[in-house]
Chain A
Amino acid sequence: MFDNIFGIHEQALLLHGQRLSVLAANLANADTPNYKARDIDFAEVLGNTGQPPLPVAVTNAAHIVMSDGELPAGELKYRNPYQASLDGNTVEMPVEQAAFSENNVRYQASLTFINSQISLLQFAIAGQ
Chain B
Amino acid sequence: MSLFSVFNVAGSALNAETIRLNTTASNLANAESVNGDASKVYRARHPVFQAMVDESDLSLDGEDSTAGVRVLGVTESTAPPTMRYQPDHPLANKDGYIYMSNVNSIEEMTNMISANRSFATNIEAINTARDLLLKTLSMGH
Contact = CB atoms under 8 A, between A and B. Distances in A.
Given A20-B2, A72-B60, A75-B59, A111 B139 contact: yes
A21 B9 contact: yes
Interface string A52-79: 0000000000000000000111111100
B65 A111 contact: no
A119 B5 CA distance: 30
A77 B48 CA distance: 26
Contacts, number: 116
B115 to A, nearest CB: 8
Interface residues of B, number: 41
Contacts of A18: 2, 60, 65
B10 interface: yes
Instruction: Report the contact-size class of chain A (Cβ under 8 Å from the partner).
Output: 35 or more
Contact of B140 (A30, A76, A108, A118): A118
Contacts of A38: 58
Contacts of A24: 5-6, 9-10, 66, 122, 125, 129
Nearest to B114: A31
Given A29-B13, A76-B59, A111-B136, 12 more contacts: A21-B129, A24-B9, A25-B53, A25-B68, A27-B10, A27-B122, A28-B9, A29-B67, A29-B69, A32-B49, A97-B121, A115-B139
29 contacts: A14-B2, A17-B132, A21-B9, A22-B65, A23-B125, A24-B6, A24-B9, A25-B67, A27-B122, A28-B12, A28-B67, A28-B68, A28-B125, A29-B13, A29-B49, A29-B67, A31-B115, A32-B51, A35-B51, A35-B53, A35-B67, A40-B60, A76-B65, A77-B58, A100-B128, A104-B128, A111-B132, A115-B140, A118-B139
